Amino acid sequence: MAVVIVTGGTFGLGQSITVELARRGHQVVAFGLAQPQVSSTAQGFESVRQELEAAGCTADVLEADVSSAADVQRVVEHTVSRYGTIQGVVNNAAIGPLGTVLTTEEPVFGKILDVNVKGTYLMSRAALPHMIRAGGGSIVNIGSGAGYGKPNMAAYAASKGAIVALSMAMAYDHFHERVRVNVAIPGGGGIVSGMSVGRFGGDTDAFVRKPAPGTAAGRPASGRDLANAVAFLLSDEAAAISGTVIDVGCFAHQGGPVPPKP
């Protein structure tokens, strides 16, 4: 079993990933922020701790800001000090306020890039030397169908498009060091997360009631569906897979109908 760091692993989809990896026997270090962030309902760490306890497993839960190099380094030092190595990273932390180029203020645009793109860079940069020293490992970056472009998500789409490009570049750069880098995209149109519900003002019922394309399973995707794909990409079963995208849910990369303007 591997030692894995999960950014934004304390709530929502990240929480699902943390719990599933811990349930499978991985040593997981999950971190996030206790206070709610823009466009998200994520708050505190009690939820992830309760779910871990209910699943009969444990994980290290830390408070840290993925956009802070010092915080990221502190998480890495904690992980190496406690477990001796790092073999996997899941770059999940993200924020996703809605808006067009015209309606997104410059500070918000910068914050989205800081968390979603710079955070992935900082975490990967801090963990890679340990993974290389250990003989290889796996990085899974959580993308979004918005990374191929979606309406009213200009800054978020730009950040998630960057994640795809960054992941492919990293896959090339670290191929011979046996570090695999892949992207998992949550889809299904109705996947419940702190971010998706946050866009509905925290009203989970309103979010769930909206029309959703669902998945081939006949239902919207769940956090566990995404976590299962992440677990596969981290595992030795995916030892030959790098530089690819797994779309967990509907075929977001193929686009879809443009919704009418309100």
Write down the pLDDT at residue 207.
44
* HEC readout, the chain: CCEEEEECCCCHHHHHHHHHHHHCCCEEEEEECCCCCCCCCCCCCHHHHHHHHHCCCCCEEEECCCCCHHHHHHHHHHHHHHHCCCCEEEECCCCCCCECCCCCCHHHHHHHHHHHHHHHHHHHHHHHHHHHHCCCEEEEEECCHHHHCCCCEHHHHHHHHHHHHHHHHHHHHCHHHCEEEEEEEECCCCCCCHHHHHCCCCCHHHHHHCCCCCCCCCCCCCHHHHHHHHHHHHCHHHCCCCCCEEEECCCHHHCCCCCCCC
Residue from 199, 210, 161 nearest 183 by CA: 161
Higher-confidence residue of 37 and 229: namely 229
Catalytic residue, candidates 83, 121, 148, 156: 156
The pLDDT score that the predictor gives to residue 211 is 58
Give me the amino acid identity at 96.
G
The pTM assigned to this predicted structure is: 0.89
Cα(40)–Cα(198) distance, rounded to whole angstroms? 4
pLDDT tier, 150 (very low <50, low <70, confident <90, very high otherwise): confident
Q: Is 83 a catalytic residue?
A: no
Torsion of CA 89, 242, 114, 200, to 10 degrees: -90
191-218: average pLDDT: 57
41-91 pLDDT, tens digit each: 666 799 999 999 999 999 999 999 999 999 999 999 999 999 999 999 999
Calculate mean pLDDT across residues 130-154. Answer: 95
**Local confidence band at 261 (pLDDT 50, 70, 90 cut-offs):** low
Name every residue whose Cβ is closer than 8 Å to that of residue 133 and which is 6 or more positions away in sequence: 85
